[in-house]
Amino acid sequence: MKLCKKCFENKPEVDFYKRKSGTLDGLYSYCIPCTKQNQKEYRQTEVYKKGNTVRVRRWQQKHKKKHGILNRKSQRCFAKKMTNSYIIKRIKGRYNTLNSEQIKQYPELIEATRMNLKIKRLL
């Protein structure tokens, strides 16, 4: 049994999180419910919230550059709207002998591809 330093209850060792170093018995001095409570309280503090938004922003900036997360998001938006330029891009992907100017001369081809895409998405 071990005494929790927060709720001052004697609890079995299994009710304490294991700790790699710093304590003699290798366990935290607070029981698991108290540790969880502590974390909950900490997450509600302004210091944590502020720190968290900064962390999130930093992560976004780092990954935006690295993987183009925002780009991917706008790409999805672009695909959803099925703009002419998106359709043309798809046609170009399929018939790589055609360029954008040539495709633009065939609005029927653009329309047909758009319809095709719509149907495919419905299925």
Q: Which of 3, 7, 54, 56 binds Zn ion (CB under 5 A)?
A: 7
Calculate the CA 98 to chain-centre distance. Answer: 37
Contact flag: residue 4 with Zn ion (CB under 5 A):
yes
What stretches of the chain adopt beta strand conformation (E)? 2-3, 10-11, 16-18, 27-31
Q: Which of 6, 49, 50, 63 binds Zn ion (CB under 5 A)?
A: 6
Interface stretch with Zn ion, choices 33-41, 45-53, 96-104, 108-116 (CB under 5 A) = 33-41
Q: Residue 111: which of 89, 75, 87 has the closest Cα?
A: 87
* Chain contacts with Zn ion (rule: CB under 5 A): 4, 6-7, 31, 34
